[in-house]
Amino acid sequence: MSDPAVALWMLGILVFAIMIGFPVAFTLMALGVGFGFYAYFQPAQQFFDNRVFYLLTQNTFTVLNNDALVSIPLFLLMGYLVERANILDSLFRSLQVALRGIPASLAVATLATCALFATATGIVGAVVTLMGMLAFPQMLKAGYDSRLAAGVVCAGGCLGILIPPSIMLIVYGAMASQSVVKLYAAAMIPGFILAGMYILYVLAVGMFKPHLAPPLPKEESRLPTAQVLVMLAKSFLPLAVLILSVLGAILAGIATPTEAAAVGAFGAAVLAAAYRSLTWKALRESMVLTARTSAMVCWLFVGSATFASVFAYLGGNVLIKEFVLGLDLNPITFLLLSQAIIFILGWPLEWTEIIVIFVPIFLPMLPHFQIDPLVFGVLIAINLQTAFLSPPMAMAAYYLKGVSPPHVLLTQIFSGCMPFVYIVLVTMVIMYVFPQTVLWLPSVLYGN
Amino acid sequence: MISRITYAIDQVSKSIGHAFSWCGLMLVLGTCYEVVVRYVFNDPTAWAFDLSYLMYGALFFMAGAYTLSRGGHVRADMFYRLWPERVQASVELVLFIVFFFPGITALLIAGWGYGTESLRIREVSVNSPAGIPIWPMKMMIPVCGALMLLQGFAEVLRCIQCLKQGSWPSRLHDVEELEAQLLEEAARKRAAGQGAS
């Protein structure tokens, strides 16, 4: 058997082992070591002189030394601290009061709360469950269609993995050797377009199908504007300032992502203290969860680094590249095909697995099709929103189901998410037709 | 007897994971200190950059075994979770033996040579003249490999226990993600509500 054929077996076994549910990091490492031993085998050598062992430790050390990955635990810690700062109730309440007059105001307030909170935490599950307990019952009580209400909570909660500072873009940057700073700049406008389209959709529902999102009863006494402003200043402003200063420092090039994330984590602790939520328990929980989630992400890198180098050494990359180039696709078809594959992979897999294992297969082909890796990365980040929203593995839907009243069915939540999945797809089309939405901000900030 | 051993190993991994999780705090404080002295006093330190690597590396590497003990390593469980628990345990048992132990053993043995060599020459970082030692980081590779093997052994015992009694043995109670806490609470409330009505 030729070496590239062996590489295909390697990939096949990987996909099979992942599908039967073994932790991906260890599957990657084992296949890398096993096939690497075969690839580097020289009969005269002692067993442990095989180059694969050197490769394994060297790759592990490289992950330990990776510039981009250092910021991951810091952003995670910031997220876990904000999550425990007990800020969500007052944030939602003040936005709800402030937006009272507009159509479908509860849903818009929910989306806005989700967007801001999810951006700060970057964690999907917590936002959806918290808002599922806080906003979802209120919308149901106000007579909202339960599908619409469910879709709003799920879609809003997922925005955090797209809008910077998101962990996903750091991981993509590390895989694609792209600057995280540029990726953040590239994702800003598409992130806002997506959030904006969500809000427009909800507004349109409120205006044209008011029976799905009835306006709140008028007789409830309106609070004076000054009081609303005070409420916003107490809840909305501190969180917004925290995020904007972290992002601003990164985008303006004042601080590296790592430095900004460290200051952001410190700021989150101060914020939690200001809301009297910085208990020993909250701090300890945040630390432990940060360690666990970082370990999960970084061990994936340890496994994939060895797998990828052995796969490439065997000629697997070249084989796949030649195959795809041999199909003689034009750039549009390639882009559609690759995004469609990622969309489908998003059903059974989580974003970490997709970005660490499957995205690197497409990356070497981008120059041939003259696709900017920034555009490709942001497209993926938007595309993977659907991974959380579409069945069968829609995590967001399951989280919401877990905290919602029993009469809300999982199928209703799924069908509520569908309009938002379509909006995601429309946003991707917009980005494809107008790539300036991605490239304009990086080019203004950093030239070419 | 078996559960005593798995609990003991879980406890070891947990203590080490929890202890090293505070490296995250050191990482925050060290980097913030550097930001202040560099941007405010224009007097950067020589050590902060290396410290951040050491702390980040220790944080994620030493938490690996702990994450394994909590079932926290990412997996695609679309089919897995539909199977009866005995099938889950037998598949997992086979894959631990075929995949996990060879891979981690390779890491341990190769890392041992790599780490001890660095220790022998007391290797220091080349990033700055401060001479921050980086041999502890390289020594961490075999140490962590050993911890992973130990935890892997506990996971294998757990599979065997599940095969014997037909259901997964319970795990140590520990810190949970907020959504997991909330979901558990909601489920408990719902069960209580049904009991009352």
CA distance B77 to A185: 34
Residue A179: CB atoms within 10 Å:
16
The verdict on B117 touching A (C-beta cutoff 8 Å) is: no
The verdict on B106 touching A (C-beta cutoff 8 Å) is: yes
Nearest 5°: phi and psi at A356?
A: -80, -30
pLDDT in tens, chain A (448 residues): 678 888 888 888 998 888 888 898 999 999 999 898 888 888 777 777 778 888 888 888 888 877 788 889 999 999 899 888 888 888 898 888 888 888 888 999 999 998 888 888 877 778 888 888 889 999 998 889 999 999 999 999 888 888 888 888 999 998 888 888 999 999 999 999 999 999 999 999 988 988 888 887 765 556 778 888 888 888 889 999 999 999 999 998 888 899 999 999 999 999 999 988 889 988 998 999 999 888 988 898 888 888 988 988 888 888 888 888 888 888 889 988 899 898 888 877 888 888 888 888 889 889 988 889 999 999 999 988 887 888 777 788 888 888 888 888 888 999 999 999 999 999 999 988 888 888 888 888 887 5
CA distance A73 to A91: 25
Q: Do A129 and B178 touch (CB under 8 A)?
A: yes
Q: Considering only alpha carbons, which residue of chain B is nearest residue A349? A: B76
ipTM of the modeled complex: 0.89
CA distance A273 to A238: 12
CA distance A9 to A3: 10
Tokens of B81: 């979770």
Is the peptide bond prior to A392 cis by the omega test (within 30 degrees of 0)?
A: yes
CA A325 to chain centre: 30
Measure in Å the smallest separation between the Cα of B39 and chain A Cα atoms: 9
Measure in Å the smallest separation between the Cα of B66 and chain A Cα atoms: 7
CA distance A18 to A101: 50
Question: Chain A contacts of B188, Cβ < 8 Å?
Answer: none
Structural element, H or E, at residue A81: helix A71-83
Contact yes or no for A342/A379 (Cβ under 8 A): no
Question: Chain B contacts of A20, Cβ < 8 Å?
Answer: 79-80, 91, 95
Q: Which residues, at least 6 apart from A302, have a Cβ–Cβ distance to it below 8 Å?
A: A25, A29, A59, A60, A63
Contact yes or no for A70/B53 (Cβ under 8 A): yes
pTM value is: 0.90
Tokens of A442: 């990086």
Q: Which of A395, A332, A319 is closest to A160 using CA atoms? A: A395
Q: Do B53 and A70 touch (CB under 8 A)?
A: yes
How big is the CA angle at A195 (ends A349 and A205), to the nearest 5 degrees? 105
Residue type, A440: W
The verdict on A410 touching B (C-beta cutoff 8 Å) is: no
CA distance A7 to B177: 38
Q: Do B175 and A285 touch (CB under 8 A)?
A: yes
